[in-house]
Structure 1
Amino acid sequence: MAARKKNANRYYSGPPSDHFDGTLFFNPGGQPPGRFADALKWQFNGQRAKWPAADPSPFPQARPAAKVEGADLAVTMIGHATLLVQTAGLNILTDPVWSQRASPFSFAGPKRVNPPGVAFADLPPIDLVLVSHNHYDHLDLATLRQLKAGHDPLLITPLGNDMLIGQAVPGMRLAAHDWGDRIDIGNGVAVHVEPAHHWSARGARDRRMALWAGFVVETPDGKIYFAGDTGFHDGINYQLMADKHGGFRFAILPIGAYEPRWFMAPQHQNPEEAVQGMKLCNAAFAAGCHWGTFQLTDEPIDEPVRRLAEALAAEQLPPERFRALRPGEVWNVP
């Protein structure tokens, strides 16, 4: 790769690796994010479906139990990529976003079309937060400040994101890790930071300065896979997860924000690819996320659900194995 100015990365400094060139992170054997000219071409293609201004969930806001002990596993959909996972006495949040917009601005940018599936005040005590990368629909500093003030959880995130979060949320308990790292939580629970095919940026001048990742939560009663935000990448990372972890009791896989494919395919998988991913990583059950709350791309709001059902039928898989959860919906996973 072309030489770059030393110390140009504002978030992370470390030795080169198979996914870090000394300045920027990259997807090994994969594709970088689209160019600015391509983004403009997409934005002005005139093909964006019109979403409703409000799309209330059919489920009321949930009031989760304070804890779920032992082998029981309860998963509550908050919205987009935010889910509450309760098992082994731990309360875990993925990519928590309670803000009205997934944007650096309070007055512009993608706006929620449904409220969070759990009111923030009704959250049980949060022990652990997993933040997959720094895009605004996944890393919401306002929510992290609230979590620090009210819950003081441990936050695990890929390399570089700790710099951003630490500056904005003083005192947050942070653990920043590379792909392949394992973090012991205690009582037989560990978190593994794993590869995803994506990218990162908070603005125009910090592309790929912080790492992106998925997570595996290892418990005494099975493993849980949160893929983060990811392109399918020929199924390479899913196969890697199967080879390394054997299989999963439960997976949280993105199914939305995938059109147009010529621009989005490297970074956002579609429902058909998500079903293939579930099969490749040997997940017994999966929840579809990253759809139906913030309009980020061109597809209609309900298309991911329809295509997920069609993909499951085509693979002769029962629909109860892979559910597209709505805000407030609670799944007591077998």
Structure 2
Amino acid sequence: MADSSIRKGKRNPYYQGPVSDHFDGSLFFNPDGVEPGNLRALLKWQFAGGRSKWPSSIASCSAPVRPDVRVGDQALRVTMIGHASLLVQVAGLNILTDPVWSERVSPFSFIGPKRVVPPGIRFEDLPPIDLVLVSHNHYDHLDVATLKRLHEAHAPRFVTPLGNDTIIHRAVPQANITTTDWDERIAISKEVTIDAEPCHHWSARGMGDRRMALWAAFVISTPAGKIYHVGDTGFHDGINYRAAADKHGSFRLAILPFGAYEPRWFMKGQHQNPEEAVQGMQLCKAAHAVGHHFGTFQLTDEAIDDPVRQLGDALKRHSIGPERFRPLHAGEVFDVPAASPEREFG
């Protein structure tokens, strides 16, 4: 599974460890999966001229919210900040996923995808943050400027897959980071655990470090139910969704990406589309789902409103009520209903 654009055996600056079924000693890979497109494919896409025009800025559907400090024991509340950044409040914990408050998701402050919707929570209005989940190292998911601010203001525990700790520690040397491999479990408290699970993606911060840090989904097990959080993934024939259901049973909530998917010939291996997200919800046996990774930064070709429209169409095709799969906009809050034992998943 060696990437043709990187010489196999090149020293990995982020992680050194034993060979596994998804690490060849230098590069991580998706077992039986699809490699990311090479530079030639990237240039073909970029010069194809198929990109829709997004507005430079739009007003948020909701005013920035000021979250409660904590929620009750059986409550599960999700507040959308933007893109893949969400505040999850459950079991007395305040958890952030892939937090980004920066204006751009890029190695540069003056160029690259720019935020078109302000964050749904002002940074200053965050409740005490206990835990930060960083799914992988792409700039729209691992924003070192935001992680540094979070460390200084809240000193949370960071949980991230192998190799990403090196990147975070370079910017935040004193950060409390726990790294994890796929199929490993971390105890957060006596009642809360986090499992790192496979997803079909890749990683890179520049041109020379492709697939040198791992990517992962997370399962948060709490007394209020299980949460399946996927930061980024290709559908991969539903393999990882089926595996999550086989291992964990079912979920009160799945947090699933459904944007940044066009053109399909280039994006299919790394970003699922709305139809695939709905299938993923069914396959992992989630009572409810929150959709993310849309409408904040223009990363791909589809129009800004296409993901939500296509999600609605997919839900109708699968006879799933829109209240079960919520595409949250910045500032929107979702109090997730308790999953009924009698619910027919699917």
Q: TM-score, normalization: structure 1?
A: 0.98
Deviation readout 1:89-131 (Å, 9 max, x if unpaired): 0000000000000001110000000100000000000000000
* Alignment of structure 1 residues 86-125 onto 2, 5 Å: 86-125=89-128
SS of 1:83's partner is: strand
AA aligned opposite 2:79: T
- SS in structure 2 of the partner of residue 312 of structure 1: helix
Distance in 2 between residues matched to 1:67 and 1:102, nearest whole Å: 29
Contact persistence 1:4–1:23 (CA under 8 A): no
Q: Which amino acid aligns with 1:285?
A: H
Query: Residue type of the partner of 1:296?
Result: L
Matches within 5 A, 1:236-251: 236-251=239-254
Residue 133 of structure 1: aligned partner: 136
Q: Spell out the pairing of 1:33-182 with structure 2 (5 A cutoff).
A: 33-182=36-185
Deviation above 3 Å: which 4+ runs of structure 1?
Answer: 1-7
Matches within 5 A, 1:1-334: 6=9, 8-334=11-337
Structure 2 portions without partners, runs of 5+: 338-346
Measured after TM superposition, the shift of residue 57 of structure 1 is 1.7
Q: Which amino acid aligns with 2:336?
A: V
Deviations 1:119-171 (CA, angstroms, capped at 9, x unpaired): 00000000000000000000000000000000000000000000111111110
Please state whether the residue corresponding to 1:211 is helix, strand or coil: coil
Please provide the CA RMSD for this pair. 1.1
Instruction: Tell me the CA shift for residue 69 of structure 1.
Output: 2.5
TM-superposed deviation, 1:305 = 0.3
Distance (whole Å) between structure 2 residues aligned to residue 183 and residue 203 of structure 1:
30
Residue pair 1:154, 1:174 contacting (<8 A) in 2 also = yes
Deviation by residue 1:181-202 (Cα, 9 ceiling, x = unmatched): 1000113100111101000000
* In structure 2, distance between residues paired with 1:56 and 1:112: 11
1:51, distance to aligned residue in structure 2 (A) = 0.2
> TM-score under structure 2 normalisation?
0.95
Deviations along 1:184-227, whole A, 9 cap, x unmatched? 01131001111010000000000000000000000012100111
CA distance in 1, matches of 2:136, 2:75: 28
Query: 2-side partners of 1:56 and 1:264: how far apart?
Result: 28
Secondary structure of 2:54 counterpart: coil
Give the whole-Å Cα distance in 2 for the aligned partners of 1:110 and 1:7. Answer: 30
Q: Partners in 2 of 1:37 and 1:56 — Cα distance? A: 37
Structure 2 CA distance for aligned equivalents of residues 5 and 331 of structure 1: 45
What are structure 1's unaligned runs of at least 5 residues?
A: none
Letter of the 1:137 counterpart? D
2:188 partner SS:
strand
The letter of the residue matching 1:114 is V
Give per-residue Cα distances to partners, 1:279-323, cap 9 Å, x unaligned: 000000001100000000000000000000000000011000001
C-alpha distance in 1, partners of 2:74/2:113? 37
1:324 partner letter: P
- Whichever residue aligns with residue 269 of structure 2, its letter is P
